[in-house]
């Protein structure tokens, strides 16, 4: 065989909504004015929740918390395309996805304050509990995709992870299986440029993360993760493709983590203020506001109504979560197995008199 090119790939990038609030009409997804306003309200609610969580942590009212500041469009834009019957496998930085799906806000505060009961997903939605070890939720989503396909359920499985997660073995094993079995899975990477202190370029020598998908036999695309329209459009298309038997898609949301990794981190140790300031100019909410203003969908009054509503929802959620009685020690026993072991029964009694 003479030397020849036997395979080549093109990696697409997508931006619909610019930093100045201008849209490329040809790329604009179908969204009514009401839907655009709904997206804006979810972005504001997510940010309001996030900022409150940070201050509650500083006051010692919740534990370590992972902020989503700067990544709201990646989360709200993608989750806005997810149906209630779809399955979601989050990492630990997806508060915006939970909020989008209508997860009770007080339960999120309850969880971050150290009470597992906050992670008992309500029966009318399918969000798997927060996954702390990086990237390990990817094979779970693949298994759920296999199960959905076997059962003939017309659903998509959406899994979230970060740029750090793409270095894990489970990323490879999960992507590979999804490709082989052509599963209805949408892989969403929020590339926020930093895995704690390690920058994206030290995570992989690949130019993009999106291109990794091609090695597994399916499409990867990079979108501006601070552009809620692109994220929504690409996710919606990927979900439709999944549901119609077209197999998996990998979406790289190119975004930025404005906050520290968690409240236990100090990002000034490893990155410059200038870099963070540059990214603040790309703020996802700011550019949507500029767009909406041009379309006469945004006024000061509208914004202040949206913000007060978000604040009162968050206030109420904090109030509810802080009024919930702490769990009983029995709780840690009864969910280990379907039935207590004889030894656990003894230990449970001991935990009562220890108090």
Partner 1 sequence: MAKVNMVQAINMALREEMERDKDVIVLGEDVGKDGGVFRITEGLLENFGHERVIDTPLAESGIVGAAIGMAAFGLKPVAEIQFMGFIYPALDQLFSHASRIRSRSRGRYTCPMVVRTPYGAGIKAPELHSESTEALFCHIPGLKVVVPSTPYTAKGLLISSIRDPDPVIFLESTRLYRLIKDDVPEGEYTIPLGKARIVQEGKDVTVIAWGSMLHRAIQVSEGFDAEVIDLMTLSPFDEEAVFNSVKKTGRVVIVHEAPKRCGFSAELSAFIAEDAILYLKAPIIRVAGYDVVIPLPKLEDYYMPTVERIRRGIEEVMKY
Q: Which is nearer to partner 1, 102 or 133 (CB)?
A: 133
Contacts to partner 1 by CB under 8 A: 87, 89, 116-117, 119-121, 123, 128-129, 131-133, 136, 138-148, 150-151, 157, 169-170, 172-174, 176-177, 180, 331-332, 335-338, 341-343
Q: Which is nearer to partner 1, 297 or 332 (CB)?
A: 332
Residues 6+ apart with CB under 8 A from 55: none
Are 61 and 54 contacting, i.e. CB atoms less than 8 angstroms apart?
no
**Residue 28, token pair as written in the block:** 């604009």
CB of 105 to partner 1, least distance (A): 18
CB of 183 to partner 1, least distance (A): 10
- Give the separation between CA 88 and CA 156, rounded to whole angstroms: 9
Q: Residue 11: how many CB atoms within 10 A of its CB?
A: 18
Which residues have a catalytic role annotated? 257, 261, 270
Are 246 and 238 contacting, i.e. CB atoms less than 8 angstroms apart?
no
**Residue 191, token pair as written in the block:** 């590339």
Helix axis angle for 33-58 and 300-323, nearest 10°, is 50
CB of 156 to partner 1, least distance (A): 13
CB of 165 to partner 1, least distance (A): 13
Q: Which is nearer to partner 1, 264 or 345 (CB)?
A: 345
**Residue 319, token pair as written in the block:** 């109030």
Going through the chain in order, the beta strands assigned E by DSSP cover 12-14, 87-89, 157-162, 185-191, 194-195, 198-199, 219-224, 249-254
Give just the sign of the alpha carbon dihedral 98, 65, 43, 321: positive
Q: Which is nearer to partner 1, 337 or 353 (CB)?
A: 337
Nearest CA to 253 among 316, 196, 190? Answer: 190
Radius of gyration of the chain (CA): 21
Q: Which is nearer to partner 1, 28 or 146 (CB)?
A: 146
**Residue 293, token pair as written in the block:** 């203003």
Q: Which is nearer to partner 1, 299 or 336 (CB)?
A: 336
Are 72 and 43 contacting, i.e. CB atoms less than 8 angstroms apart?
yes
CB of 158 to partner 1, least distance (A): 13
Burial (CB count <10 Å: 0-12, 13-18, 19+), residue 290: middle
CB of 147 to partner 1, least distance (A): 4
Are 284 and 40 contacting, i.e. CB atoms less than 8 angstroms apart?
no
């Amino acid at each position: 065989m003479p030397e020849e090119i036997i395979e080549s790939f093109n990696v697409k990038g997508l931006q619909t909504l610019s930093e100045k609030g201008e849209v490329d009409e040809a790329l604009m997804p179908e969204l009514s004015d009401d839907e655009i306003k709904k997206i804006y309200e979810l972005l504001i609610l997510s940010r309001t929740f996030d900022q409150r969580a940070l201050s509650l942590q500083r006051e010692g009212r919740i534990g370590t918390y992972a902020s989503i500041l700067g990544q709201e469009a990646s989360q709200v834009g993608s989750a806005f395309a997810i149906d209630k019957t779809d399955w979601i496998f989050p990492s630990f930085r997806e508060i915006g996805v939970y909020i989008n799906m209508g997860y009770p806000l007080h339960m999120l505060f309850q969880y971050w304050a150290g009470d597992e009961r906050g992670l008992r997903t309500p029966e009318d939605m399918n969000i798997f509990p927060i996954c702390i070890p990086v990237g390990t939720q990817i094979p779970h989503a693949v298994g759920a995709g296999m199960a959905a396909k076997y059962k003939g359920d017309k659903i998509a499985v959406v899994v979230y992870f970060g740029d750090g997660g793409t270095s894990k073995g489970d990323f490879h094993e999960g992507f590979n299986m999804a490709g082989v079995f052509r599963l209805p899975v949408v892989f969403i990477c929020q590339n926020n440029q930093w895995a704690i202190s390690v920058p994206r370029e030290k995570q992989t020598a690949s130019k993009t993360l999106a291109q990794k998908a091609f090695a597994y036999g399916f499409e990867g695309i990079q979108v501006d993760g601070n552009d809620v329209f692109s994220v929504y459009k690409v996710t919606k298309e990927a979900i439709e493709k999944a549901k119609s038997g077209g197999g998996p898609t990998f979406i790289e949301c190119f975004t930025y983590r404005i906050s520290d990794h968690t409240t236990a981190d100090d990002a000034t140790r490893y990155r410059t203020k200038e870099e963070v300031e540059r990214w603040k100019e790309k703020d996802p909410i700011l550019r949507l506001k500029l767009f909406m203003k041009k379309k006469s969908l945004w006024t000061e009054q509208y914004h202040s109504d949206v913000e007060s509503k978000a604040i009162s929802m968050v206030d109420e959620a904090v109030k509810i979560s802080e009024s919930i009685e702490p769990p009983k020690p029995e709780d840690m026993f009864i969910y280990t197995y379907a039935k207590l072991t004889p030894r656990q029964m003894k230990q449970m009694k001991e935990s009562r008199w220890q108090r």
